[in-house]
């Protein structure tokens, strides 16, 4: 028997649109639920009896669940809604520098030393800068979360086959080979509050640019993600 082929792109787009529409609708109702829970929590704000306090606890648990559903829905929409890219010949170095500036306060707070090696003469890449920043931010957040005691994150770029190769190297917890093989699968997560959609989204963004992403990891030592982007025409 031959293995099943990937569905054609148009089928994927149709499914993504369907799922995106569903989540959008779902979020509308969720926001009504959240609003009413908020009002209920306010009603019980001055809980006096044991019964009222227990009711307040339950309402707060529901609020927490509601927040979580909003978070998963937003991550899901970011994953499903990668469609028409606004591609322009771009200097990747300035895009990364902007993002690094944005990320620096968070890194400092987490005791993460952020080092960049970005040559000035990188070839231009054809980029949707906003979308690509989202992909990079996912990688940087993961790196930070993998270094709960702090550590080092290196972001380095170099010219590669007419395009650019970008490495993000952290000194975090690392992963087993088995975990590393699954990280790009939607909903794969090892974090209590994780959605498991960050890397799936990052890979889709890299591929939508005609690029690739790979991971190498060493448990207890750290992890390296490598993104390759083709050069602009």
* Region near ligand ADP per CB under 6 A, out of 14-22, 56-64, 65-73, 166-174: 166-174
For residue 168, the surrounding DSSP H or E stretch is: strand 163-170
The pattern of x and - marking residues 103 through 142 that bind ligand ADP according to CB under 6 A reads -----------------------------------x---x
* Assigned token pair, 118: 């970005």
Q: Tell how strand 163-170 and strand 222-229 pair up.
A: antiparallel
Quickly count: other Cβ atoms within 10 Å of residue 164's Cβ.
26
**Cβ 1 to ligand ADP, closest distance in Å?**
32
Binding test (CB under 6 A) with ligand ADP, winner from 143, 166, 213, 229: 143
205 binds ligand ADP (CB under 6 A): no
151 binds ligand ADP (CB under 6 A): no
Report how far residue 123's alpha carbon sits from residue 91's, in angstroms, rounded to the nearest whole number: 7
Binding test (CB under 6 A) with ligand ADP, winner from 24, 68, 191, 221: 191
206 binds ligand ADP (CB under 6 A): no
Three-state DSSP string of 153-209: EEEEEEEECCEEEEEEEECCCCCCHHHHCCCCCCCCCCCCCCCCCHHHHHHHHHHHC
| Sheet containing 222-229: order of strands | 112-117, 151-160, 163-170, 222-229, 212-218
Could you say which of Mg ion, ligand ADP, none residue 186 binds, taking C-beta under 5 to 8 angstroms by partner kind?
none
Could you say which of Mg ion, ligand ADP, none residue 163 binds, taking C-beta under 5 to 8 angstroms by partner kind?
none
**Cβ 57 to ligand ADP, closest distance in Å?**
27
Q: For ligand ADP, which residue has the nearest CB?
A: 198
């Amino acid at each position: 028997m031959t293995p099943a082929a990937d569905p054609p792109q148009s089928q994927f787009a149709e499914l993504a649109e369907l799922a995106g529409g569903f989540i959008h609708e779902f979020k509308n109702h969720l926001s009504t639920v959240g609003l009413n829970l908020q009002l209920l929590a306010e009603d019980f704000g001055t809980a006096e009896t044991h019964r009222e306090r227990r009711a307040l606890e339950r309402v707060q648990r529901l609020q927490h669940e509601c927040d979580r559903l909003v978070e998963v829905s937003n991550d899901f929409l970011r994953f499903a809604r990668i469609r028409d890219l606004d591609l322009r010949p771009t200097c990747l170095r300035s895009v990364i520098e902007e993002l690094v500036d944005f990320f620096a306060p968070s890194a400092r707070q987490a005791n993460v030393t952020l080092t960049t090696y970005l040559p000035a003469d990188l070839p231009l890449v054809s980029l949707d800068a906003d979308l690509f920043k989202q992909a990079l931010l996912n990688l940087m957040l993961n790196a930070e979360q993998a270094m709960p005691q702090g550590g080092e994150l290196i972001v380095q770029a170099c010219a590669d086959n007419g395009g650019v190769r970008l490495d993000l190297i952290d000194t975090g917890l690392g992963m087993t080979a088995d975990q590393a093989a699954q990280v790009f699968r939607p909903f794969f997560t090892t974090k209590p509050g994780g959605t498991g959609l960050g890397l799936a989204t990052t890979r889709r963004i890299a591929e939508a640019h005609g690029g690739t992403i790979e991971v190498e990891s060493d448990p207890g030592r750290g992890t390296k993600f490598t993104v390759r982007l083709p050069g602009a025409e």
